[in-house]
Chains A and B, each alone.
Chain A
Amino acid sequence: MDQKSAGLNLTIFFCQQSDPDQDANRRSIEKEFGSRVRFFPLPCGGRIDSLHIMRALESGADKVYVVTCPEGACRYREGNTRAQKRIAYTQKLIEEINLEGERIELITLPAGKPIAIDELARELLAREASVGPSPVRVR
């Protein structure tokens, strides 16, 4: 079953350098799905913090995505690699409370191809659901 049909709530933190039209692009999804898909543009993927991810999960996200620029293409040099480390830390933390680490996922965009954040969100919604609704939300 895909993530849309499974009724999963997605939170997407993304580097706004990756989509110059992100402000307009994400609105269509926000209109269509309301709070089921929440976007948080970041000035750089490296701005993501474990606390952002934990608060997103606590607020009802079933799955959190952090979208960063391709490796070697970060405008601030190391933002994407920093994001990766923070995700790994947060995955370990949620595993300590018996949540699956895969509820947090890093998406490194392919090089040389600009993305529209709404297209990416639709692609994510169409992905096979690897986790069910979060016990934090459904209890």
Chain B
Amino acid sequence: MITAERKPISEIKEMIAPYRKILVVGCGSCVAECASGGEKETGLLASAIRMDAKSSGKDIEVREMTLDRQCVYEFIDQLNDVIADYDIVLSLGCGAGVQAVAEVFPKVHIVPALNTTFIGQTKEAGLWIENCRGCGDCKLGVFAAVCPVTRCAKGLFNGPCGGSKSDRCEVDPDVPCAWQQIVSRLQDRGRLDLLRKVHPPADWSKQQGKGPRKIYREDQRS
């Protein structure tokens, strides 16, 4: 899941200030799961914007709607009959969603209401943790499904560093030591042999080496 957090209202206000008719568009996927851009959060933000305008005597029109996914054309199409009536779209999608909508409607001004943060997991109610960097060279099979690149503060491929105390990371004692988890899990599974191999540095060219990445699959194309 891609996680995000709402921008401060003051920043959002600044972006929408020159416009009168505002379409607030949420996304029902990742950002709904992390409670930042779903239908409910879209309603909260739209309400806040309307109330703020009313309090300061500004005449604006705010409509709210939520797409199932803002990053897929088939869902963005739902804006076709609506978007022309508005001066600006305030998107509660992740960065990918905002850009996808902007690509479909290049003449419409689209601004983000969220700061997209990381690929993560819902750890518990109200807590999301980063656990994937999208490095393009996944080694979870070797490291007992704990990513040392993301979850070890030092990003060590050949750990542990030796600095952890009581299974906690020395950089941030709130975080469990990823390498402790890797070793414990592999021990439980009888696969400590996987750690005998020394891993060369990660090949970061697979992440950003050639600019924005793409995945191309002929079998999925129409």
The chain A residues found within 8 Å of chain B, CB to CB, are: 49-51, 54-55, 57-58, 93-94, 96-99, 134-136, 139
**In the complex, are the beta carbons of B10 and A96 less than 8 A apart?**
yes
DSSP majority for the B interface? helix
In the complex, the chain A residue whose C-beta lies closest to that of B6 is A93
Residues of B close to A54: CB separation below 8 A: 43-44, 47-48, 51
**In the complex, are the beta carbons of A93 and B51 less than 8 A apart?**
no
> Would you call B50 an interface residue if the criterion is a C-beta within 8 Å of the partner chain's C-beta atoms?
yes
Partner of B40, one of A49, A57, A135: A49
Among B43-57, those with CB < 8 Å from A are: 43-44, 47-48, 50-52, 54-57
Interface string of B7-44 (1 = CB under 8 A from A): 01110000000000000000000000000000010011
In the complex, the chain B residue whose C-beta lies closest to that of A85 is B126
Partner of A51, one of B8, B44, B50: B44
Partner of A99, one of B8, B50, B55, B57: B55
The chain B residues found within 8 Å of chain A, CB to CB, are: 8-10, 40, 43-44, 47-48, 50-52, 54-57
In the complex, the chain A residue whose C-beta lies closest to that of B126 is A85
The 17 sampled A-B contact pairs (Cβ below 8 Å) are: A50-B44, A51-B40, A51-B44, A54-B44, A54-B47, A54-B51, A57-B47, A57-B51, A58-B50, A93-B9, A94-B48, A96-B48, A98-B52, A99-B51, A135-B55, A135-B56, A136-B55
Residues of B close to A58: CB separation below 8 A: 47, 50-51
Residues of B close to A57: CB separation below 8 A: 47, 51
Residues of A close to B47: CB separation below 8 A: 51, 54-55, 57-58
Q: How far is the CA of A97 from the CA of B62 in the complex (A)?
A: 16
Measured between C-beta atoms, what is the minimum distance from A66 to chain B in Å? 16
Residues of A close to B9: CB separation below 8 A: 93, 96-97
Contacts A96-B8, A96-B9, A96-B10; A135 near B44 (Cβ below 8 A) = no
